[in-house]
Structure formats: structure tokens, C-alpha cells
Structure 1
Amino acid sequence: MESHPNDIKFFLLDIEFPDSKIKGIDLATKIRQQDLNSKIVFITTHEELTTLIFDRKVEPLDYIAKEIGLDGIKKKLYQDLDITIERLIPSSDQNVEKFNFKISSKKYAFDINQINYFESSENNHNVFLHSTNEIIEFPDTLKAIEDRLPNFYRAHKSLLVNPNNIKSVDSKEHKLVFKDGTTCDVARRKLAALKKCLNK
């Protein structure tokens, strides 16, 4: 989950794994705590433990009893996969790119079109995300974000800006004006290259 944060996730679990220290229901609980969008399907014979699924607020996509046989399980799995794709693919089809980040164990997916710029904090271990309606602080570095968002522009050693949200450049004051009216500074030596970037 940590190495593939942007992938669609479909988990196939049993409520209890034989000879294992971890139970499927515990694993499902941890998955749900980290990712609200993941789809979880249980295949199990432990019908007496199904109440645990509701008690833990796991919200599985399906519960498949092994007793229905291999063909029945296969049919239900294909149906579940189709539903997963239908529910999780639309955001990709709409070309809405997301910027994913974590604060503690909680994951966030932020619409890139709503981001004006990123600003490094004084201690360099955190970054401020400046969006069109809020500012969020989270642990990261501008260099790492720059690698992930090649379309963004390094306007200053402490600023990474979204060119698509820039309305104008104030060369005299060395400021960028965004579509929502907010501004940020730009390094004088970066002005010429930034203007070229915007003209493209």
C-alpha cells in the first residue's frame, strides 16, 4: 500500500488464516484505517465471525462463502472486480490528477488543479500546500514533490508553483498572481524562464 499509493486496490481475504499470527479481520481493519477507497472481499467458511466485519466497520464489497464451490466463487469474484473498476476508474477517466500525501497514518488525495504552490517550511522537514481554499502542512520535501510533479515550476528555492493556476507575473514586484487572487514571490533569476514556460 505504501509503495503503490495511486494504484486501485482490491484485497481478497479470509477472516482467519490457518497457522498465521494475524487474522484476516485484523488485516482488513488496518487496510480500512489507511485507505477508505480500497475494495475488500472476504472468502471464508467462518460465518460465525461475520458480525466482526460490521463491528470493525470494515465495509467489505462482498462476502463469499466457500460452500458455493469454485465456479460460484469465480463468478462472484469477476462481478466484484467489475464493480471495483466501475467505482474506482471514473476519476482517471475524467483526467483529474491527484497529489497523494500522508499526515501520520492518514492518507489524502488532493486535486492537482486546486493547488497553487508548495512552500517549504523553515525546518525543511515539512511542506505547506497552498490550494485555492486552504493551506495544509505535511511531512515532505520540495525536491521529492518536484520529482513527482514535473509540470510544476521551481520559482524560488522554497517555492514550487503550478503554472496552470498562474494568472499573471508582476515582474516589477517579483510576484506571481494566481487565478484566485493570491500571490507569492518569485526569484528574479527565475522570471525569464518562468515567462517562457507560461507562454508555452
Structure 2
Amino acid sequence: MPIFICEDNDIQRNAIEEYIQNYLMIEELDMEIKLSTNNPYEILSYLEKKSISNGIYFLDVDLQCDIDGIKLGGQIRNKDIGGKIIFITTHSEMMYFTFKYKVEAMDYILKDDMQDLQKRIIEALEQASTHYQEDKNNPEERLKIKVGSKIRVFPMKDVMFIETSHVPHKLVLHLDQSTVEFYGKINDLESISNSLLRTHKSIILNVENVSALNRKNYEVTMANGEVCPIAMRKFSTLNKRLGSK
């Protein structure tokens, strides 16, 4: 698991590095500090050049830069969906903005007490390692789509179907209990998962969530009770897919 540190105070950045290095050496965890910097753009440049997943990011909030740690966290979230973001700061009042920018931070550590800071950093590393192992042992397919300026991730088990919207160039994702509109092309989506099947010119459905077929009306009932049409020529294809489950 790659670790990134962004802290504008050299003394504090060096302390954070030391806490992490000492802990990794003792515990022999499969982690490594890839980049430690005072420049948030170095982090973003690194992520642009390399495909990083499940990174661990220790970010100061006030970086004395035109981009603060929370906005940096938001951009990191778009590039590393599974990344673990930990804010380290003296500004507890800024916690609200982590929700505003949909950063989904794993922890928010205050710098008030350096001994407590070391303890909290170690706890964050332990938690990140635990989450990573759980994800490896229980792989769950997810659907990633861009909604506005954010990348959102949905468990495939919650996805019912995707249909074209009456708004040009927009699609509607039907989930178990809600819907989400986003811009996209339906032709680009069928190939992103083996669970998805194009059953109509305007619909791609999740085969795993089909609960019933109605041959008379050429309709499909999904696990959440929603009903959507199916093209006549696609009926036998879907029937075969369901029979092989």
C-alpha cells in the first residue's frame, strides 16, 4: 500500500515520516512511503502518471497554497477510489468541508499533542491495513461512474438497471432504493461488467438482479420490484444467461 504525505511544515512532515517509518519497520507491513512533500501538486502529478489504488494519504489541511488539503483530498478521491485519506491539522472547524467536498476521510487527527499524533497515525495505518485485507478476502464488484465532478462507486449488487434519460446525453442509474442521473453513453457501459446485459436500445440491466421474466409482455421484473421492457430479440439471450446462473 503506497503512502503519501503532504505537509507544508518541514519539522512536522519529518516527524510524520519518522512515526510511519519506525512503525513499518517494526511491524513489517506491506506499505511504503512513495512521496512526502509540501506541494499538493506533486501528489496530483504522481497520481496522473501512475495508476494508484488503495493509497494512504496523510494530508495537512492548511498547505499555504492555492489548494488546501481538503480540496486536494477531493481530487485524490477522483483518482484513487479506494484510497484512505487522513487529515492532520490544527483546524478542527474545517471538518465540515470534508463532507461538502465528499472526500470521505478515514480519520481527522488534530496536531495538538504530538504523542497522541503518533498514536493516531499508527491507528490509521492499522485500520487501513485491516480494510485492505478485508477487501482482498471479500472482493465485491463495484460500478464506478462520474456524477458531476465526482467519481462515485456503487456495489454491483445494488445496481438494477441503467436507462437513457429524457434529457439528452444523460443516463439514469436505478439502484435498489434510489436513482442517480449522470452524463454518459449507454453504448459505453455494457462492457464494463459481465453482470450487465443490453436488453433494449435504451436499457442495460444487471442480470444478477433479475427476479422474473414475462414472455407475454416482454418485460423483466428486477429484485427491487421495478419493471422494465426487453426487446423481443434479446429475450432468449437473457433467458440463457439466467439459466446458466
**TM-score, normalising length: structure 1:** 0.70
Return the alpha-carbon distance in structure 1 between the equivalents of residues 51 and 146 of structure 2. 10
- Structure 1 position 196, deviation (Å): 1.1
**Given the superposition, is the C-alpha separation of residues 109 and 123 from structure 1 closer, same or farther in structure 2, using an over 3 Å criterion?**
same
Q: Does the alignment pair 1:30 with 2:67?
A: no
Q: Tell me if structure 1 keeps the 8 A contact 2:157–2:209.
A: yes
Cα deviation, 1:113-141, whole Å, max 9, x if unaligned, reads 12111001244521111122222211222
Q: Single out whichever of 82-91 and 128-137 deviates more from structure 2.
A: 82-91
- Mapping of 1:13-162 within 5 angstroms? 13=59, 21-22=65-66, 26=68, 28-33=69-74, 35=77, 38-40=84-86, 42=88, 50-52=89-91, 54-57=92-95, 60=107, 80-87=124-131, 89-91=133-135, 93-162=137-206
**Given the superposition, is the C-alpha separation of residues 6 and 101 from structure 1 closer, same or farther in structure 2, using an over 3 Å criterion?**
farther
**Given the superposition, is the C-alpha separation of residues 30 and 38 from structure 1 closer, same or farther in structure 2, using an over 3 Å criterion?**
farther
Q: Does the alignment pair 1:164 with 2:202?
A: no
**Given the superposition, is the C-alpha separation of residues 92 and 126 from structure 1 closer, same or farther in structure 2, using an over 3 Å criterion?**
farther
**Given the superposition, is the C-alpha separation of residues 93 and 126 from structure 1 closer, same or farther in structure 2, using an over 3 Å criterion?**
farther
Task: Look up the match of 2:243.
Answer: 199
Aligned with 2:127: secondary structure? helix
- Structure 1 position 186, deviation (Å): 0.5
Q: Tell me if structure 1 keeps the 8 A contact 2:61–2:87.
A: no
Q: CA RMSD in A?
A: 3.8
Cα deviation, 1:68-102, whole Å, max 9, x if unaligned, reads 9xxxx8x9977643321223553553333222223
- Structure 1 position 107, deviation (Å): 4.1
Q: Single out whichever of 96-105 and 166-175 deviates more from structure 2.
A: 96-105
Aligned with 2:189: secondary structure? helix
Quote the sequence identity (%): 21
Task: Look up the match of 1:45.
Answer: none
Return the alpha-carbon distance in structure 1 between the equivalents of residues 52 and 145 of structure 2. 10
Return the alpha-carbon distance in structure 1 between the equivalents of residues 136 and 171 of structure 2. 26
Aligned with 2:90: secondary structure? helix
Q: Does the alignment pair 1:189 with 2:233?
A: yes
- Count of matched residue pairs: 182
Q: Tell me if structure 1 keeps the 8 A contact 2:73–2:85.
A: no
- Structure 1 position 144, deviation (Å): 2.4
Return the alpha-carbon distance in structure 1 between the equivalents of residues 209 and 185 of structure 2. 21
- Structure 1 position 145, deviation (Å): 2.1
Aligned with 1:150: secondary structure? coil
Q: Tell me if structure 2 keeps the 8 A contact 1:146–1:160.
A: yes
**Given the superposition, is the C-alpha separation of residues 184 and 5 from structure 1 closer, same or farther in structure 2, using an over 3 Å criterion?**
farther
- Structure 1 position 147, deviation (Å): 2.5
Letter in 1 for 2:93: D
- Structure 1 position 177, deviation (Å): 1.7
**Given the superposition, is the C-alpha separation of residues 93 and 125 from structure 1 closer, same or farther in structure 2, using an over 3 Å criterion?**
farther
**TM-score, normalising length: structure 2:** 0.59
List gaps (5 residues or longer) in structure 1.
43-49
Aligned with 1:40: secondary structure? strand
